[in-house]
Amino acid sequence: MELVLFGFGGAVLIFFLSAGITSILEKENRAASISFISGIILSVPFLLPLLKDVTYPDWLYFGMSSFAGCCLAIFLIPFRGRIQYTYHRPRHRFDERDTMFSRQKLVPGSKRFEEYYKRRPRNKSLDNKFQRRPGWLMPGTKYYDPILFASVRSIFDEVETLHPRVDGEPDLSRVETDPSAFTDTVLRMARKLGAHSSGITELAGYHVYSVGGRGDRYGKEFPVEHKFAIALTVEMDYHMMRTAPAAPTVVESARQYLRAGKMAVELAEYIRSCGYQARAHIDANYQVVCPLVARDAGLGEIGRMGLLMTPVLGPRVRIAVVTTDLPLVPSSARPDPVLIDFCRKCEKCAIVCPGRSLPFGMEKEIDGVMRWKIDAESCYTYWCQAGTDCGRCIIVCPFAHPDNWFHRLIRFGIRNSYIFRRLAVPLDDLFYGRKPKPRNPE
């Protein structure tokens, strides 16, 4: 019995020491300190009998053994619990003119300005709030940094150079092969280009904006032209995002929009060279709602913050999409109730949101769909006050931690055990803080 307890105590000590070292590498000093302290406190009672020639009474041996066994059982025995969740699909298409990215481009006194607020009078008073702020990337904002903001503008200028390449005519000579071969090639190509994850879905009406809202696409109706959509994600750097909402986070956001855009454009050009229609959907030139496409392609779920929640990186990703008539095999997308159940219990993103833009509580029925709805106006108003695209909700998500052995183990526990899933949020609060402070830019 003593050897069993000693083995368990040694395993506990090694686990927490390893977790502490991993946290140091992540530059998470609080988590490292708690890991080291926890390792010592939790392992000493099990190691003491062999280290100090101490003899425990039989009842204490039994109790400690039972405790160790219960801990392992909670983590290892599959028990996901009953999760009330239905995979809802939107009933209506979205008008891109209603997005904040379209509304912030409206020029007071212009024809578009007058037409939009005549059609959406309620939005006028809401939009007045962000219009009175200095503006995104503008001087006078809280996190204004002339050097980094200039870098962001140059990155988005480069994204714009990709816009003429998002669409084009396919080659006249068409490559003929079976859909599974094209599917393997497209997904393998996405990985080689650097995508963190990729998937395919049949293009549905609600994936496509009903009307365009930006640039020369403003007011144009978008038909559902293609049959398939390829979604891909790219990872945003953990350490850059930990500075959110300071200037480095918008630099990283811009970099990954550019990276995802280049991948999507290259993939679309490859498909057109095979003789099939293809259009890349990248920053400021979307015809589709990327998170919905990515969800249906099996890359994650739409969480509390209205963003795609991936099972490995949480919301710490950017998305691009390619739509095409290339014959493909859709990915086996299945609903992920565990992610939604975790979002219901966490609420960490809503707690830290500087704009108080994220909802608390359960999903609500909106336009026939059970979902969370963010306050887009207050969110964008904060952007115009901060000067950045914030990102606090993204980086405090417990699923957004780096993809290493320690966090993979935690994610396994969350998926495997209902009890551990309930413990995961308070444990994340203990190790990283309920309201983690932004990291200082380096």
Residue 73 vs residue 385, higher pLDDT: 385
- Taking every pair of Cα atoms in the chain, the longest distance, rounded to a whole number of angstroms, is 87
Phi-psi region of 9 (alpha: psi -120 to 50; beta: other; left: phi over 0): alpha
The conformation of residue 362, written as its DSSP 8-state character, comes to S
Q: Say if residue 175 is in the same domain as residue 270.
A: yes
Angle (nearest 5°) at CA 244 between 240 and 250: 70
Average pLDDT, integer, range 238-262 = 97
Domain region containing 108: 96-394
Question: What pLDDT shows up at residue 2?
Answer: 67
Average pLDDT, integer, range 286-306 = 97
- Check pLDDT > 70 for residue 232: yes
The conformation of residue 232, written as its DSSP 8-state character, comes to E
Q: What is the pLDDT of residues 172-226, one digit of tens each?
A: 999 999 999 999 999 999 999 999 999 999 999 999 999 999 999 999 999 999 9
Q: Say if residue 296 is in the same domain as residue 366.
A: yes
Q: What is the pLDDT of residues 1-37, one digit of tens each?
A: 667 778 888 999 999 999 999 999 999 999 999 999 9
- Over its C-alpha atoms, the chain yields an Rg (Å, rounded) of 25
Cβ-count burial of 441 within 10 angstroms (0-12 exposed, 13-18 middle, 19+ buried)? middle
Q: What is the pLDDT of residues 265-274, one digit of tens each?
A: 999 999 999 9
Q: Give the C-alpha separation, 256 to 205, whole Å.
A: 27
Cβ-count burial of 424 within 10 angstroms (0-12 exposed, 13-18 middle, 19+ buried)? buried
Q: Could you give the C-alpha distances from 177 to 167, 184, 262, in angstroms and in order? A: 23, 12, 26
Q: Give the C-alpha separation, 247 to 153, whole Å.
A: 12
Q: Say if residue 122 is in the same domain as residue 41.
A: no
Structural domain contains residue 427: no
Structural domain contains residue 91: no
Q: What is the pLDDT of residues 33-53, one digit of tens each?
A: 999 999 999 888 888 877 667
Structural domain contains residue 326: yes
Q: Say if residue 73 is in the same domain as residue 103.
A: no
Structural domain contains residue 253: yes
pTM for the whole structure: 0.94
Question: What pLDDT shows up at residue 420?
Answer: 93
Q: Say if residue 63 is in the same domain as residue 103.
A: no
The conformation of residue 211, written as its DSSP 8-state character, comes to B
- Check pLDDT > 90 for residue 251: yes
Quickly list DSSP for 260-308.
HHHHHHHHHHHHHHTT--EEEEBTTB-SB-HHHHHHHTTS-EE-TTSSE
Question: What pLDDT shows up at residue 45?
Answer: 85
Q: Say if residue 62 is in the same domain as residue 192.
A: no
CB 385 within 8 A of CB 141: yes
Residue that has been written with the tokens 């979604």 in this structure: 231
pLDDT band of 75, cuts 50, 70, 90: confident
Q: Say if residue 21 is in the same domain as residue 127.
A: no
Angle (nearest 5°) at CA 316 between 287 and 425: 130
Single-letter amino acid, residue 317:
V
The SS3 assignment for 201 reads strand
Q: Say if residue 5 is in the same domain as residue 139.
A: no
In terms of C-beta distances under 8 Å and separation of at least 24 residues, what long-range contacts does 175-178 make, across chains too?
A: 175/274, 175/275, 178/327
Q: Say if residue 183 is in the same domain as residue 246.
A: yes
Domain finish residue from 370, 394, 418: 394
- Check pLDDT > 70 for residue 86: yes
Q: Say if residue 123 is in the same domain as residue 16.
A: no
Structural domain contains residue 372: yes
Q: Could you give the C-alpha distances from 353 to 53, 208, 332, 380, 413, in angstroms and in order? A: 53, 29, 34, 12, 27
Structural domain contains residue 425: no
Q: Say if residue 68 is in the same domain as residue 102.
A: no
CB 117 within 8 A of CB 123: yes
C-beta atoms surrounding 184 within 10 Å: 12
User: Who contacts 420 (Cβ-Cβ below 8 Å, separation ≥6)?
Assistant: 74, 75, 413, 414
Domain finish residue from 77, 111, 129: 77
Question: What pLDDT shows up at residue 1?
Answer: 61
Q: What is the pLDDT of residues 344-371, one digit of tens each?
A: 999 999 999 999 999 999 999 998 899 9
Q: Give the C-alpha separation, 334 to 298, whole Å.
A: 6
User: Who contacts 112 (Cβ-Cβ below 8 Å, separation ≥6)?
Assistant: 106, 218, 219
Average pLDDT, integer, range 143-149 = 97
Beta bridge partners of 232: 198, 320
Q: Say if residue 171 is in the same domain as residue 301.
A: yes
Structural domain contains residue 413: no
Q: Domains in the chain: how many in total?
A: 2
Domain finish residue from 372, 394, 416: 394
Structural domain contains residue 403: no
